[in-house]
């Protein structure tokens, strides 16, 4: 059953789907595309392998995975407007034979155990109430030996980077978002505080420990853009 966090995420993303393929790149000074490219490079799949792209949004990551590895990708998201845009993008790039879409929630995925050879997750954990059970649900659908790769925003470690990061997330983002639309203002105002909250409640070392506890003992992470983004990856044992 959808929870309050799901409704909040749906409201946020339904309101920005139309401009989603352009705005995150612009607001991040084109770091966004580098983070996604690095995320995709951490996958370990081959042609015709089945990959889940969770939080697929407008299918940017799903399309990259299909193009790079020739694998079959299922993109899952809870926002109808994002999925509609994703459908349009997949058709426009002639990828209907490799990328399919399904409405769904990370907390309760509509797939059997051990279905996927690889799973990508982007920017999910600020929108879930129970990190451990959601991560467990994601790992459930990954085959033993399969790779989970995850991208989240982070908080820079160095104080000299933290100051401009703070000004950027608390000042620039809401202002720039507001100049685009009401929907982007809502996202811009939510983003910074939600990143800090996740960073405090789920520090990176604790999150890595959780991956180990849930069956990915080789979990590793890399900071990108001075820690403004974090990519994690690990292989399911068995």
Ligand X SMILES: C[S@@+](CC[C@H](N)C(=O)[O-])C[C@H]1O[C@@H](n2cnc3c(N)ncnc32)[C@H](O)[C@@H]1O
Site string for ligand X, 112-131 (x = CB under 6 A): ----------xxx--xx---
Q: Count residues binding ligand X (CB under 6 A).
A: 21
Q: Binding ligand X by CB under 6 A: which of 82, 138, 148, 150?
A: 82
**CB of 149 closer than 8 Å to CB of 43:** yes
153 binds ligand X (CB under 6 A): no
87 SS3 class: helix
CB nearer to ligand X: give 55 or 214.
Answer: 55
Stretch that binds ligand X, among 99-107, 171-179, 189-197, 199-207 (CB under 6 A): 99-107
Are 124 and 153 a contacting pair, CB within 8 Å? no
Taking CB atoms, the residue at the shortest distance from ligand X is 57
Q: Which residues make Cβ contacts (< 8 Å) with residue 28, sequence separation at least 6?
A: none
- Contact between 105 and ligand X per CB under 6 A: yes
Give me the torsion for CA of 128, 132, 137, 141, rounded to 10°.
120
Only segment of 104-112, 196-204, 209-217, 218-226 that touches ligand X (CB under 6 A): 104-112
Residues 6 or more apart in contact with residue 76 via CB below 8 angstroms: 52, 53, 54, 55, 56, 101, 102, 103, 104, 106, 109
- Please identify, using beta-carbon distances, which residue of 22 and 167 lies nearer to ligand X: 22
Any contact of residue 78 with ligand X (CB under 6 A)?
Answer: yes
| β-bridge partners, 99 | 73
Query: Which residue ranges make up the site for ligand X (CB under 6 A)?
Result: 6, 9, 13, 36, 55-57, 60-61, 77-79, 82, 105-107, 122-124, 127-128
């Amino acid at each position: 059953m959808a929870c309050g966090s799901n409704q909040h995420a749906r409201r946020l993303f339904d309101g920005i789907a139309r401009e989603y393929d352009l705005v995150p790149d612009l607001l991040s000074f084109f770091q966004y595309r580098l983070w996604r490219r690095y995320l995709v490079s951490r996958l370990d799949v081959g042609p015709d392998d089945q990959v889940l792209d969770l939080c697929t949004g407008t299918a940017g990551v799903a399309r990259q995975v299909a193009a790079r590895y020739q694998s079959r990708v299922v993109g899952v998201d809870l926002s109808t407007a994002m999925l509609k845009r994703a459908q349009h993008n997949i058709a426009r790039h002639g990828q209907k034979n490799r990328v399919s879409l399904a409405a769904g929630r990370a907390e309760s995925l509509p797939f059997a155990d051990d279905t996927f050879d690889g799973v990508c997750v982007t920017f999910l954990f600020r929108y879930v109430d129970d990190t451990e059970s959601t991560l467990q649900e994601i790992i459930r659908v990954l085959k033993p030996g399969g790779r989970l790769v995850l991208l989240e925003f982070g908080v820079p470690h160095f104080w000299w980077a933290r100051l401009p990061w703070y000004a950027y997330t608390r000042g620039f983002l809401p202002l720039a978002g507001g100049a685009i639309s009401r929907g982007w203002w809502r996202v811009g105002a939510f983003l910074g505080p939600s990143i800090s909250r996740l960073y405090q409640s789920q520090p990176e070392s604790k999150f890595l420990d959780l991956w180990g506890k849930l069956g990915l003992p080789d979990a590793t992470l890399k900071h990108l853009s001075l820690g403004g983004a974090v990519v994690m990856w690990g292989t399911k044992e068995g």
